[in-house]
Amino acid sequence: MKRRAKRLLSDLDQEIREHIELATQENIARGMTPEEARHAALRKFGNMTRAKEDAREVWTVVWLEQFVQDIRFALRGLRRTPAFTAVAILTLAIGIGANSTIFSAINAVLLRPLPYPEQDRLVRVSIYNPKYPRYRGEVSWTDVAHWGAAKEVFEQVEGTSGPDVVAMSGGGSGERVAVLQMNALLPTMLGVKPFLGSLPTDEKHEALGFGISYEFWQRHFAGDPHVLGKTIFVDTGSGPVMVVLAPHFDLLETGPPDIFMFHGSANPAESGIGDPRWVMAIGKLKRAVSVQEAQAAMDVVEQHLARVFPEEYKGMGVRVEPLRQGLFGWSSDFLYLLLAVVGFVLLIACANVANLLLVRADSRRKEIGVRVALGAGRTRLIRQLLTESIVLSFAGGLSGLLVSIWGIKLFDLLSPNWMPRTANAPMDARILLFTFGVCILTGIVFGLVPAFRASRSDVNESLRGEGRTTGSVSRQRTRNILVIAEVAVALVLLICAGLMINTLTRVLRTNPGFNPNQLITAQVRLAGDKYIDSTDPDHLDLNVIHPPVELFCRQVLERLQGLPGVEAAAFVDWLPLAQDTQHAHPGFRIAGQAPLLSAEAPTILLDSISPGYFRVMGIPVLRGRGIDEQDTESAPWVVAINESMAHQFWPKQDPIGQVITFDNSPDERPRQIVGIVKDVKDYGLTRESMPEAFVAYTQLPARTVPGWTEARVHKSLVVRTRFVSKELMESVRKTIADLAPDSAVYGVTTVQQTVSSAARVWSFFSQLLGLFAGVALLLAAIGVYGVMSYSVSQRSHEIGLRMALGAQRRQVLGLVLRQAVILSLVGVGIGAASSFVLTPMLSEFLYGVKPHDALTLTLVSLLLIGVTLFASYVPARRAARIDPMETLRHE
């Protein structure tokens, strides 16, 4: 402020006094008594403080000065009422913390830039079926090569597939490792540098060697500086370590893979039709080319490809989108749903704090009255009260950030393993800004109504009322509305949680098609030259599976039969519902029918099993027979099929006796169908069963296509036991490990556990929604308790009178409880009505239950009404204990 202004203001007091003095003198001259004269002059002058403040405002950046003043004032006030402050901050910390947590997850998965230089030039290129445009389809190495030729928009397009969990051998024991296949140029394109060694250069579409991740190097090789050149054996091949990649290279953000297997790029002219699509294509745009331009160019390329290779490309769309969206866009639906849920929780928290503020404003009416009497303007007062609530919400927000640090860890812990990891993402400016915004908004939302109400207080009334505040009707109405809103919002959340839990129990109760009880399972991944030969110079496109695979299975089964507690044991390639399964899914030809184009050839799941597998798993054989001991290598080759396969391919005939031939090996023989078994759930509890065929592990071709080698050397053991015990699991593990010392034995668990893991995504949703709904319920209960307590304390006088006039305690109890029931019933009604609009948004996450499930609605409504009754019972009891004599004495 300028010196002139300072002087003017400091002289203002004197100036005003002089003004009053002169006016008084004039009044005396008009014939008033000196006292009258002075009063009249003062009245005429008006609000002196206000005049001074207004004059001050002319010279200052007022709002800033007042803001600082208001904050100081708010802090002082909050310190004076520690209990109120603590409850309010805690409530807000929970509400804001939940929001920050979910936003942190959204930020980590969808918003923050990828850790690659020039990440804005990276895109994912995927194909989609125009019928399901939201789905991002995987592509083939051939597609990658075709698209990479679109040089007008792409600098390059590279592919990656996996991670595949395979076995690594060497050094005495096998280990399970996650292998990511990729074009050798992909890391360089992303801008990832080697830590040791150098990346191979691109030549032809064949394996170029191995890279390992920094993390695997540390874990497995203890950071050995001489690791380069050491040979790694994985089942699909062996080779030297050529490069250790830079730390934290984690493309899919589900934890860095262990091994990178590098390929050259495919030659589109060489690689043929039917190249399987399991690759993800990542492209780098040319400088100054936008995603839209690339999309337009790819549309043209796609049309061209559809003309040249109609079998591969007809009726297909190609999509170009920013890499982060391409990688993780699928998760946005449910993440934003969660954000809406925590938004509701925050609303309830706001209502609670608003309630507290209303009560507090009542106890402060006198103070506010005095301030109004001393000339505080209404807007000034509202601004001050709002400042107080914003100070509160910022305190809540700061604590909320602390809550979210812990919350994001919990989120990460609960989330399924295919969710990108969220815990490692640092807290960044975006999260802080979001929380800041939420704080301001929150402070205004919960502070506005109380501030308006408080500022409207009648000076006379509040100054006159001595302690016995009657609490005006409209004030109580505001509180009631808040409670109704809380109950309504809590009901919506409870319904969501109820639907989710309902879904979970239905998923868990789904019949998987087999009996998981009393079953132990173990996974083994046979590794090494003894089992697979991938170096046949005549047949690079085929892997040879050696007889020791079969021998190993036979020996394991024999030894297990001898274990005490084991009833029966069997092998299958992949246990149904197991994670990371890589079933063989060959095409096949039905004898007597014309062969179909390979693109249109039917594909099915194929599993080899040991005799007794159906019995051990409890899978009923519906017709014919299962696979049994008579099906040896030299006997006629046979196949058992499931119901789905029978219905799909022989809708009108009896499939038994039909002959089919699989196309996954030149050594395949025609197989006669000997039996039909019941469907099992293979890929998920909520998915329809796929057509599936089972063959004897003794009737398998010696050579197989490399992509399906995995299915041949991976075995899931299932053991039916009399009694599941840790000891038995350990002896099963040891039996296998002894027979295949170089191979990886893992996943020794109960089959029941595998089934539950298949429901993990629903338990994740249920846990989160249940948690948030629980918090909402608790907050709503606290809200009801607060309002009822306050209403009782306000009405204590009235209740005392009623009792003095003969009302019974039970009647008083009823009086209070009735009020609570009415409030919660209205809330439940509104909540139920809004849930009709809101819950359909959940439908894509539900299974076996409709979004408007009457039972769920009824149950959660009863629960909510029960809880509100319970919350108001304590204040009701207090009301019933009011001593009428006390009241009368006060009169």
Partner 1 sequence: MSTREEKERIELLQGTLDLLILRTLLLGSAHGHAIAKAIEFNSDEVLQVEQGSLYPALHRLIKRGWISVEDGTSENNRRAKFYRLTAKGRKQLAAETSKWEKFAGAIARILRPTEEHE
Q: Based on CB atoms, which residue is closest to partner 1, 16 or 841?
A: 16
Q: How far is the CB of 51 from partner 1 (least distance, A)?
A: 4
Q: Which is nearer to partner 1, 18 or 633 (CB)?
A: 18
- Residue 23 or residue 382: which is nearer to partner 1 going by CB? 23
Rounded CA-CA distance 800/782 in Å is 25
Say whether 9 sits in a helix, a strand or coil.
helix
Q: What are phi and psi of 333, to 5 degrees?
A: -50, -50
- Nearest approach in angstroms of CB 380 to partner 1 is 14
Measured from the CB atom, the residue of 11 and 667 that comes closer to partner 1 is: 11
H or E element at residue 797: helix 760-804
Least distance from partner 1 to the Cβ atom of residue 378, Å: 17
Choice between 56 and 554, CB closer to partner 1: 56
DSSP assignments along 496-551, one per residue: HHHHHHHHHHHHHHS--SS--TTEEEEEEE--STTTEE---TT-TT-EEEPTHHHH
Q: Which of 280, 765, 302 is nearest to 503 (CA)?
A: 765
Least Cβ distance, residue 47 to partner 1 (angstroms) = 6
Q: How far apart are CA 545 and CA 665, in angstroms?
A: 12
Q: Which is nearer to partner 1, 44 or 809 (CB)?
A: 44
| Tokens standing for residue 273 | 């039709």
Residue labelled with tokens 């079953």? 519
Q: Which is nearer to partner 1, 15 or 633 (CB)?
A: 15
Minimum Å gap between C-beta 65 and partner 1 is: 16
> Is the CB of 51 or the CB of 804 nearer to partner 1?
51
Q: To the nearest whole angstrom, how small is the minimum distance from the Cβ of residue 68 to partner 1?
A: 21
Q: Which is nearer to partner 1, 10 or 634 (CB)?
A: 10
Is 40 or 825 the residue whose CB approaches partner 1 more closely? 40
How many Å apart are CA 22 and CA 41, to the nearest integer?
A: 9
CB of 875 to partner 1, least distance (A): 48
> CB of 390: closest distance to partner 1 in angstroms?
28
Of 12 and 656, which has the nearer Cβ to partner 1? 12
Min dist. Cβ of residue 64 to partner 1 (A): 18
306: helix, coil or strand? helix
Q: Supply the minimum distance, in Å, between the C-beta of residue 372 and partner 1.
A: 17
Give dist(CA 536, CA 538) in Å, integer: 6
Task: Provide the H-helix boundaries in 107-265.
Answer: 141-148, 186-190, 214-221
- Give the 3-state secondary structure percentages of the chain, helix then strand then coil, rounded to 5: 55, 15, 30
Tell the smallest beta-carbon distance from residue 458 to partner 1 (Å): 22
Rank residues 14 and 634 by Cβ distance to partner 1 and give the closer one: 14
CA 371, 375, 377, 380 torsion-angle sign: negative
Which of 57, 529 has the CB closer to partner 1?
57
Per-residue tokens: 526: 């046979």
- Smallest gap from Cβ 42 to partner 1, in A, equals 10
Q: How many CA atoms lie within 13 A of 830 on its CB side?
A: 15
Please enumerate in sequence order all residues whose Cβ is within 8 A of that of 79, keeping only pairs 6 or more positions apart, or say none. Answer: 85
Taking the C-alpha atoms of residue 867 and residue 491, their distance in angstroms, rounded to an integer, is 12
The string of DSSP letters for 719-785 reads: EEESS--HHHHHHHHHHHHHHSTTSEEEEEEEHHHHHHHHTHHHHHHHHHHHHHHHHHHHHHHHHHH
- Minimum CB separation of residue 56 from partner 1 in Å reads 8
The minimum distance between CB 455 and partner 1, in angstroms, equals 21
List alpha helices for 415-472, DSSP H: 429-455, 459-464
Strand partners, 260: 180, 211
Q: Which is nearer to partner 1, 49 or 598 (CB)?
A: 49
Concatenated DSSP letters of 173-214: S-EEEEEEEEETTHHHHHTPPEEEE-PPPP-SSSEEEEEE-H
Smallest gap from Cβ 59 to partner 1, in A, equals 7
List of residues contacting partner 1 (CB under 8 A): 4-5, 8, 11-12, 14-16, 18-19, 21-23, 25-26, 40, 44-48, 50-52, 54-55, 57-59
Q: Tokens 């009245």, residue?
A: 43
CA separation, residue 86 to residues 79, 82, 328, 353, 354 (Å): 10, 6, 39, 11, 14
Please answer whether residues 296 and 285 qualify as being in contact, where contact means their C-beta atoms are separated by less than 8 angstroms: no
Nearer Cβ to partner 1 (33/632)? 33
Those residues with Cβ within 8 angstroms of residue 521's Cβ, 6 or more apart along the chain or in another chain:
575, 578, 716, 717, 718, 719, 747, 748, 749, 750, 751, 754
For 844, half-sphere exposure in the C-beta direction (CA atoms, 13 angstrom radius) is 6
Shorter beta-carbon distance to partner 1: residue 372 or 487: 372
Q: How far is the CB of 7 from partner 1 (least distance, A)?
A: 9
Q: State the residue for tokens 């609960």.
A: 414
DSSP 425: S
Give the Cα separation of 704 and 609 in Å (integer).
Answer: 17
Backbone angles phi, psi at 857, to 5 degrees: -60, -45
